[in-house]
Amino acid sequence: MNHPPHSVPDPIRKRLRTRRSLPGRMLAWGGQVLLWGVPLLFFGAFFFYPLAAIFRLSLFPEGHLVTEALRPLIEKSYYARVLWFTVWQATASTAGALLLGLPAAAIFSHYRFPGKALLRALTTLPFVMPTVVVATAFTALLGPRGMLNDILRTLFHLDSSPLHLQNTIWIILLAHVFYNTSVVIRLVGGFWANLDPRLGAAAAVLGAKPWQRFRQITVPLLLPAVAAASLLVFMFNFTSFGVILILGGPGFATVEVEIYRTAVRLFDLPVAAALSLLQMLFTLGLMVGYTHLQQRLTLPLPLRPQSATQRPPRTAGERGLVFGVLLLLGVFLLSPLFALVQRSLTLGGGLSLQFYRALFVNRSDSVFFVTPILAVRNSLMFAVTTVFMAVTIGLSTAYLLRQTELRHKRFAYLLDPVLMLPLGTSAVTLGFGYIIALGKPPLNLRASLLILPIAHTLIAFPFVLRSVLPILRGMQPQIREAAAVLGASPAAVWRRIDLPILARALMVGMVFAFTISMGEFGASLLVSRPQFPTLPIAIYRFLGQPGLNNYGQALAMSVILMATTAVGFLGIENLRYGDMGEF
């Protein structure tokens, strides 16, 4: 007699319990300890402990609460204006990303067309680029001597640049939309692509018109995905640092930028810590809402593979719509990148690789000078280490969350947003926390090279987690039960069942971790050692130095970083498990 996997006969259950000897039970118990211990110890040591050190030093300097640091936030209208600007620009930037991203998500989720994988990878590329590269790209495109101003001066025979967007709110909003449109396309488009088209077909049989089907069926199903994408984009814009600092100039400041200015320039740690606490409260609230919406996306729905939901555009109207949306998306997302490459090759007049060759030259002939190409080596070294750590922590955390959801759902609602806090935490706050907390026993890592991969892992591992967790939630537990009934050990079950299913999601997480580590700027600026600069730090340093050669090398390094990211995502598009995953 055949029994369903979830209905195991009593004799087999008895034999299964007999097989579970004392060593086997000890191994299972050890696995549970490892499952809980790895992510919680990592979080406790490298996230909560550094933040607690900042707050203790700043708000509890004498062992009791000192509220002097909170007074400026209440009494000075300047901080209210900073908070208002932070919320306002984040809202406007989120609206812009939705305005461009939702039509693109519809195109990518419904149609197949040549070059689709390449375009998807290119739309994701801006999201993982470091802020210094984005700032350089937008300056190369829209700056006073940028490509667009050069074209306009030539066409209309002008003596001065007609576009003046540098240090304005408009270039900030454009850069934020450039950054975050891919989040909308990935989250909404990935969910939309797997909705069962038979729902709309059934409504059409009942007489519903296309607009009614879209409004009454598609929109309600998409709302959680759209809301989740909006919250995530808002959080990224709320914590914006490099875009505001570099493109906005001294006239604009978000809470993140104000933390940096207060801590670095004024060295007023109490006020900086109070601002960090304010930002953390906002971030926690946003993450609670985001994870709740993501859990709604995992509710049982009639989903279908993309091979059954996507088709080539057939009519002239569909082809025109696809072409128009892709043209707008391509021009907006690719023109800054094209301008970056063009300027790196033509800066100074004529087509030349002089700035790329200069990356290998020690111009000062000093043993203390680090050539830019060594910064590339350092970034690769740190990125590989980060991938290993982020995958280990992210995979353990995904299993921990899934187990908690199955056994203690209410506790999982709290644990999930807490584990996602590094995604929205100020990199400046995190860096200062490491300087304060990790410079003495028991965690004396301030002078260690390991401190940089640890910081990068905290920033990157949420992307591994959100790539793996949806696949883990969708796995059928009966498959593991059936394997256990047949005598497979927990290690064999994971190796032969879980790993093949999770392999593609893990690869997606690995590429995210690699590219994020390669491009991370905020925390690296504070904790990296001068003799081991990363690629973004080298770009920032060269941008801050006068001279055509320094600017040209910054452009060349930016192109190298952009190309590295592009190669990674072009490869991962062939390995993704459809569009599953939250990024």
Region for 268 from its dihedrals, namely left if φ exceeds 0, alpha if ψ lies in -120 to 50, beta otherwise: beta
Q: What is the reported pLDDT for 91?
A: 94
Q: What is the reported pLDDT for 507?
A: 85
Residue of 417, 520, 47, 73 lying closest to 273 (CA atoms)? 73
Q: What is the reported pLDDT for 196?
A: 62
Grade residue 443 by pLDDT with cuts at 50, 70 and 90: confident
Least confident of 3-17, 361-375, 487-501: 3-17
Q: What is the reported pLDDT for 90?
A: 93
pLDDT at 202 over 70: no
Helix (H, G, I), strand (E, B) or coil at 311: strand
Q: What is the reported pLDDT for 108?
A: 86
Cβ neighbours for 117, distance < 8 A, ≥ 6 positions apart: 570, 573, 574
**pLDDT tens per residue across span 85-112:** 999 999 999 999 999 999 998 888 888 8
Residue of 303, 301, 323 lying closest to 313 (CA atoms)? 323
Pick the CATH number of 41-66+91-344+353-572 from 1.10.10.2840, 3.40.980.10, 1.10.3720.10, 3.90.550.10: 1.10.3720.10
Find how far residue 326's CA is from the centre of its chain: 23
Paired tokens of 414: 């709290």
> Is the model more confident about 14 or about 212?
212
Q: Give how far Cα 11 sits from Cα of 5, 15, 482, 487, 511, Å.
A: 14, 6, 14, 14, 46
Place of tokens 């993309």: 306
Q: What is the reported pLDDT for 542?
A: 85
**pLDDT tens per residue across span 242-257:** 788 888 878 888 888 8
The domains of the chain are located at 41-66+91-344+353-572
Task: Answer whether the bond into residue 442 is a cis peptide, omega within 30°.
Answer: yes
Distance CA 458, CA 462 (A): 8
> Is the model more confident about 204 or about 222?
222
Q: One-letter amino acid identity for 289?
A: G
CB atoms within 10 A of CB 25: 10
CB atoms within 10 A of CB 19: 12
| 58, 272 contact by CB (below 8 A) | yes
Region for 365 from its dihedrals, namely left if φ exceeds 0, alpha if ψ lies in -120 to 50, beta otherwise: left
In our burial notation (b when 16+ CB lie closer than 10 A, e otherwise), range 139-162 reads bbbbbeebbbbeeebeeeeeeebe
Paired tokens of 33: 């300890």
Q: What is the reported pLDDT for 257?
A: 86
Place of tokens 């998807």: 120
Distance CA 370, CA 375 (A): 7
pLDDT at 73 over 70: yes
pLDDT at 12 over 50: no
